[in-house]
């Protein structure tokens, strides 16, 4: 009898509609558990690594299948009870069913795996993730979708992987002030002016301040709206501690949440926030971090590195969140940011803190400005280069300009482990050495992870 005579026949690939028991071994950033059946990877939202679940196949592709959960047959000890009634439907959170300490470890291993697999950093050192004392009620900004399926129109968030709306009347990850605003907006729907406004609106973007307890609202529509203008005084009266209302319009695309143009309709467009002794004025649409408490922890982590004061270039500086923190410690700062409105806010914030003599801001696309000969002297004079790019990371032109100038130290704050791994691979191949990487839990209950990497030129 040969081995082939006794070997079990391969399990057939699952068909759509089939129900089966699967063991799950991994977890994706979007909250989907990863199992395998019949040579196919099976993705299913709900099961955690180490769990066995009964699932129903809903979609079959050439290389993978998608399933819906029917029952968890064997639970992981890391499983937690979700605290939001719409978890699993709303697309905002992906990890509420995973205990918080397990979330922090999962994020550390996610960063480490990306550095090893994508970056080729076999000896990478990734510290334990710095988390929050209370991983709820941290978001200082929410973007509500106007839900016209309700009468009068209500509010919600987008459903997972869909533009359908999940109606909500509260959210456990936004600040208590924003939840109060949400309750007040629901109560105001019965006012004819507010109901008319909602007939025109696509989104309502709200931002709150931990420092002042105030908030601002931006109502977004396809075009400037007289109904929004008429509703603004009602909102100022009905929403406690509302500092101002603006109308955002002229959308760049059908999926845009904020428009390219803004009109102040009532009160003040900005509120004040304070982190690490720096005061900021920010609007609902500002490029400003949504988790003030975690930004303060990043400041604390950076503070020991800021003595003595030196020169730093801040790429992707936004409204100057980090630039002004560096200047507060006596550093000379050059910031680059392509958004003109963010540059205006950064300059105003520098004047507000009396730091304008230590900072200068340049408007332009980072890859163009950093490679321009006129900016090379600033890079060559810098002791440190700070990078806080968008999720797509840095383009190769920017990385090549950095490598050619050979800035002694790079501080890279990333919101995507994959692009951090990719960019650091290029930099290491061009003379830099990767040091310790420190993850921060900027977005608890979600699959997003922030990581700070230090690189030095060899």
The 10 Å CB-count burial string (b at 16+, else e) for 407-421 is: bebbbbbbbbbbbbb
Do residues 118 and 167 share a domain? no
Strands 242-249 and 261-267: antiparallel
Instruction: Please check whether residue 143 is in contact with residue 257, taking contact to mean a CB–CB distance below 8 angstroms.
Output: yes
Q: How far, in Å, CA of 135 to CA of 132, rounded?
A: 5
> Which sign does the torsion angle of CA 426, 430, 435, 438 carry?
negative
- Establish if 242 belongs to a structural domain: yes
Express each pLDDT in 140-192 by its tens digit: 999 999 998 888 999 999 998 888 999 999 999 999 999 999 999 999 999 99
Instruction: Please check whether residue 129 is in contact with residue 104, taking contact to mean a CB–CB distance below 8 angstroms.
Output: yes
Return the structure tokens found at 37. Answer: 């059946």
Q: What is the tally of structural domains in the chain? A: 3
Domain end call among 74, 95, 124: 74
Summarize the confidence of residues 235-255 as an average pLDDT.
94
Do residues 150 and 34 share a domain? no
CATH number for position 28 = 2.40.50.140
Summarize the confidence of residues 388-413 as an average pLDDT.
93
CATH number for position 334 = 3.40.50.150
pLDDT value of residue 1: 45
Do residues 436 and 297 share a domain? yes
The SS3 assignment for 189 reads coil
Catalytic residue among 44, 90, 93, 415: 415
Q: What proportion of the chain, given as a percentage, has pLDDT over 90? A: 86
CA-based radius of gyration for the chain: 24
Q: How far, in Å, CA of 302 to CA of 252, rounded?
A: 37
Q: In 145-261, where does DSSP find H-type helix?
A: 176-188, 192-200, 226-238
How many CB atoms neighbour CB 233 within 10 A?
14
Q: How many helices and strands, by DSSP H and E, does the chain display?
A: 12, 21
Q: In 239-372, where does DSSP find H-type helix?
A: 292-302, 321-328, 340-352, 366-371
- CA atoms in the 13 A half-sphere facing the CB of 42: 32
Instruction: Please check whether residue 411 is in contact with residue 432, taking contact to mean a CB–CB distance below 8 angstroms.
Output: no
Return the structure tokens found at 189. Answer: 């729907």
Greater model confidence, 176 or 372: 176
pLDDT band, very low/low/confident/very high, at 10 (cuts 50, 70, 90):
low
- Establish if 94 belongs to a structural domain: no
Do residues 182 and 258 share a domain? yes
378, pLDDT greater than 90: no
Instruction: Clarify whether 171 is annotated catalytic.
Output: no
Q: How far, in Å, CA of 234 to CA of 258, rounded?
A: 22
H/E element holding 297?
helix 292-302
Summarize the confidence of residues 425-432 as an average pLDDT.
97
Verify cis geometry, omega within 30 degrees of 0, for the bond prior to 384: no
Summarize the confidence of residues 402-407 as an average pLDDT.
91
Summarize the confidence of residues 215-236 as an average pLDDT.
96
Do residues 265 and 295 share a domain? no
pTM summary value: 0.93
Residues 6+ apart with CB under 8 A from 456: 408, 409, 410, 432, 433, 435
- CA atoms in the 13 A half-sphere facing the CB of 422: 12
- Establish if 282 belongs to a structural domain: no
Query: Comparing C-alpha atoms, which of 359, 376, 291 is closest to residue 320?
Result: 359
- Establish if 358 belongs to a structural domain: yes
The SS3 assignment for 331 reads coil
How many CB atoms neighbour CB 187 within 10 A?
12
Return the structure tokens found at 130. Answer: 């710095």
Most confident of 130-139, 278-287, 392-401: 130-139
3, pLDDT greater than 50: no
Do residues 195 and 113 share a domain? no
CATH number for position 190 = 2.40.50.1070
Tell me which residue range forms the domain holding 38.
3-74
Strands 359-363 and 332-337: parallel
Q: What proportion of the chain, given as a percentage, has pLDDT over 70? A: 98
Mean pLDDT of the chain: 94
Return the structure tokens found at 152. Answer: 């009068």
Q: How far, in Å, CA of 334 to CA of 327, rounded?
A: 10
- Establish if 348 belongs to a structural domain: yes
219, pLDDT greater than 70: yes
Do residues 124 and 258 share a domain? no
- Establish if 93 belongs to a structural domain: no
Greater model confidence, 2 or 292: 292
Instruction: Please check whether residue 384 is in contact with residue 407, taking contact to mean a CB–CB distance below 8 angstroms.
Output: yes
Do residues 248 and 122 share a domain? no
39, pLDDT greater than 70: yes
Q: Say which residue the tokens 């993850």 belong to.
A: 439
Do residues 335 and 236 share a domain? no
- Establish if 81 belongs to a structural domain: no
Using CA atoms, how far residue 318 sits from 130, 174, 288, in Å, is 24, 22, 7
Do residues 297 and 226 share a domain? no
The SS3 assignment for 151 reads coil
Do residues 233 and 295 share a domain? no
- Establish if 410 belongs to a structural domain: yes
Do residues 443 and 331 share a domain? yes
Express each pLDDT in 61-86 by its tens digit: 999 999 999 999 999 999 999 999 99
Residues 6+ apart with CB under 8 A from 110: 29, 417, 449
pLDDT value of residue 458: 83
pLDDT value of residue 9: 55
């Amino acid at each position: 009898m040969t081995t082939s005579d006794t070997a079990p026949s391969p399990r057939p690939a699952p068909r759509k509609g089939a129900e089966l028991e699967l063991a799950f071994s991994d977890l994706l950033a979007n909250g989907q558990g990863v199992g395998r059946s019949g040579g196919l990877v099976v993705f299913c939202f709900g099961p955690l690594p180490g769990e066995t679940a009964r699932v129903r196949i809903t979609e079959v592709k050439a290389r993978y299948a998608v399933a819906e959960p029917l029952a968890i047959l064997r639970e992981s000890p890391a499983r937690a009870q979700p605290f939001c009634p719409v978890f699993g439907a709303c697309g905002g959170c992906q990890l509420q069913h995973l205990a918080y300490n397990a979330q922090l470890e999962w994020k550390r291993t996610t960063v480490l795996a990306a550095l090893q697999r994508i970056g080729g950093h076999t000896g990478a050192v990734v510290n334990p993730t710095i988390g929050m004392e209370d991983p709820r009620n941290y978001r200082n900004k929410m973007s509500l979708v106007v839900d016209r399926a309700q009468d009068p129109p209500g509010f919600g968030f987008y459903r997972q992987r869909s533009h359908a709306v999940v109606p909500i009347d509260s959210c456990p990850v936004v600040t208590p002030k924003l939840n109060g605003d949400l309750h007040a907006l629901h109560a105001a729907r019965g006012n004819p002016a507010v109901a008319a406004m909602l007939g025109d609106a696509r989104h309502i973007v709200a931002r709150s301040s931990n420092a002042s307890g105030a908030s601002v609202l931006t109502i977004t529509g396809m075009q400037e709206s007289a109904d929004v203008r008429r509703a603004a005084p009602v909102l100022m009266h009905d929403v406690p501690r509302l500092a101002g209302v603006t109308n955002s319009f002229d959308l760049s695309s059908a999926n845009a949440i904020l428009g390219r143009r803004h009109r102040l309709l009532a009160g003040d467009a900005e509120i004040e926030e304070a982190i690490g002794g720096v005061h900021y004025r920010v609007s609902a649409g500002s490029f400003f971090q949504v988790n003030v408490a975690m930004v303060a922890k990043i400041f604390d982590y950076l503070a020991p590195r800021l003595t003595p004061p030196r020169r730093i270039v801040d790429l992707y500086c936004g409204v100057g969140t980090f630039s002004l923190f560096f200047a507060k410690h006596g550093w000379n700062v050059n910031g680059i940011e392509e958004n003109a409105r963010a540059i205006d806010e950064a300059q105003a914030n520098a004047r507000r803190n009396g730091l304008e003599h230590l900072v200068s801001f340049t408007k332009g696309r980072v890859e163009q400005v950093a490679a321009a000969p006129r900016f090379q002297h600033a890079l060559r004079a810098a002791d440190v280069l700070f990078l806080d790019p968008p999720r797509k990371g840095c383009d190769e032109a920017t990385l090549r300009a950095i490598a050619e100038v050979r800035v002694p130290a790079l501080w890279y704050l990333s919101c995507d482990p994959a692009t951090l791994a990719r960019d650091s691979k290029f930099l290491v191949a061009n003379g830099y050495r990767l040091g310790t990487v420190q993850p921060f839990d900027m977005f608890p209950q979600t699959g997003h992870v922030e990581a700070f990497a230090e690189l030095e030129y060899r």
